[in-house]
Structure 1
Amino acid sequence: MKYLKQYRIPFSGLAAGIHDFDFEIDDKFFDCFEHSLVKKGKLLAKVSLQKQETMLIVNFDIQGRIFLQCDVCLTEFESPLHFTERVIVKFINEEWDNETEEVIVLNKTDHELDIANLLYEYINVQVPYYAKCSEQGENISCDPEMLAKISGTVDAEEQSTTESESIDPRWAALKNIKNN
């Protein structure tokens, strides 16, 4: 994953205070993650890192567009995305297994922070559970041709159920016995 090396922040040489970084996120980034919900997108992550003696406070402001597939008409559409996140990085000497979503633990000998997995998780969490063109897209609605085909399928299913309702009267008599 050589491509993901650019998403590392070398903090060891930074002075105490706030430092800003910009990271572009594109299709190559999502290709590095096999099970990503997002396959295509163009985003900009503005990362503000506040370095202190014993910890880092990292604020993410991620804005851009991702491509989703509509769950109704199967059309690929562009969805705008803008959100902020925050993570705290603590430095300790010994092992600590109590990492949480907001606190990451690094050893005092570490010299860089890899944010690729954080960006991946933050973006994929923002993907809606149910993607629909008219709700998550801008100035777009579902493909009318596909909706017509779907409604045609429903009509065919209704016809098959009416055909199955016209059954042999002998079987209908057996159903009455079962209901007694």
Structure 2
Amino acid sequence: MMKQKEFSIPFSGLKQGKHEFKYKIEKKFFESFEYDEFNGADIDLTVILNKTSTMLELDLRALGVVNVDCDLTSEPFDQKIDAKLELVVKFGDEYNDEDDELLIIPHGEHQVNIAQYVYEMLVLAVPQKRIHPGVVDGTLKSEALDKLAALQPKETKENKEENDPRWDTLKKLLTDK
């Protein structure tokens, strides 16, 4: 993974108070992390840096879409992304990023790189199960959906009404308590 230089925020020359940074995230950002689950990306990232004398507070907000493949039909579609992350940067003796919301950097540092945090926030914002909106509302027509419908078990009237008498006897045991 290469270090994303454009995501290094130099804070040493900034006055105390709030500062805003804007980024445009595309597919090449994810490729730099060797992540190939997205076909494309168009995400606007806004970072609000609140600098105080003892720490930095970063509010990250991402809005946009990533193009992913549907898990059912393999049809590509745009998945909306709306993600937030609050990160506190404190100064200490050595670098420590073990906590998800707290980053400790050495006292001599003059910039903070947020690329890893942005990457994790965006990847986690995409649902685990990706279903095309056309599948949900029934407007998508595809070979995969037709094949799934054809292979679905048929429920017939005979299967519903016909009971095995052995099971009826066993079911009485459950109700005879």
- When residues 141 and 130 of structure 1 are mapped into structure 2, their CA distance, relative to the original with a 3 A threshold, is farther
* Equivalent-residue separation in structure 2 for 1:118 and 1:36 (angstroms): 18
Residue 142 of structure 2 is aligned to residue 144 of structure 1 = yes
SS of the aligned residue for 2:122 comes to helix
Which deviates the most, 52-61 or 143-152?
143-152
1:31 Cα deviation from its structure 2 partner: 1.1
- When residues 121 and 36 of structure 1 are mapped into structure 2, their CA distance, relative to the original with a 3 A threshold, is farther
> What is the aligned-residue identity percentage?
28
Could you say which residue in structure 1 is the equivalent of 2:81? 81
Could you say which residue in structure 2 is the equivalent of 1:41? 41
- Is the CA contact (8 Å cut-off) linking 2:95 and 2:105 kept in structure 1? no
1:6 Cα deviation from its structure 2 partner: 0.9
AA aligned opposite 1:47: V
Could you say which residue in structure 1 is the equivalent of 2:106? 107
Which deviates the most, 113-122 or 37-46?
37-46
- Is the CA contact (8 Å cut-off) linking 1:66 and 1:79 kept in structure 2? yes
* Equivalent-residue separation in structure 1 for 2:6 and 2:31 (angstroms): 15
The ranges of structure 1 where at least 4 consecutive aligned residues each deviate by more than 6 angstroms after the TM superposition are none
1:145-177 superposed Cα distances (whole Å, 9 cap, x missing partner): 32113334x37x99xxxxxxxxxxxxxxxxxxx
Could you say which residue in structure 1 is the equivalent of 2:6? 6
* Equivalent-residue separation in structure 1 for 2:12 and 2:82 (angstroms): 30
- When residues 99 and 20 of structure 1 are mapped into structure 2, their CA distance, relative to the original with a 3 A threshold, is same
Residue 132 of structure 2 is aligned to residue 133 of structure 1 = yes
1:98 Cα deviation from its structure 2 partner: 7.5
AA aligned opposite 2:147: K
SS of the aligned residue for 1:65 comes to strand
Residue correspondence of structure 1 range 87-102 to structure 2 within 5 A: 87-92=87-92, 94-95=93-94, 99-102=98-101
AA aligned opposite 2:133: S
* Equivalent-residue separation in structure 1 for 2:96 and 2:103 (angstroms): 10
AA aligned opposite 1:113: V
| 5+ long unaligned stretches in structure 2 | 155-177
- Is the CA contact (8 Å cut-off) linking 1:133 and 1:140 kept in structure 2? no
| 5+ long unaligned stretches in structure 1 | 159-180
TM-score calculated relative to the size of structure 1: 0.75
Which deviates the most, 48-57 or 94-103?
94-103
Backbone CA RMSD of aligned residues: 2.7
Residue correspondence of structure 1 range 51-90 to structure 2 within 5 A: 51-90=51-90
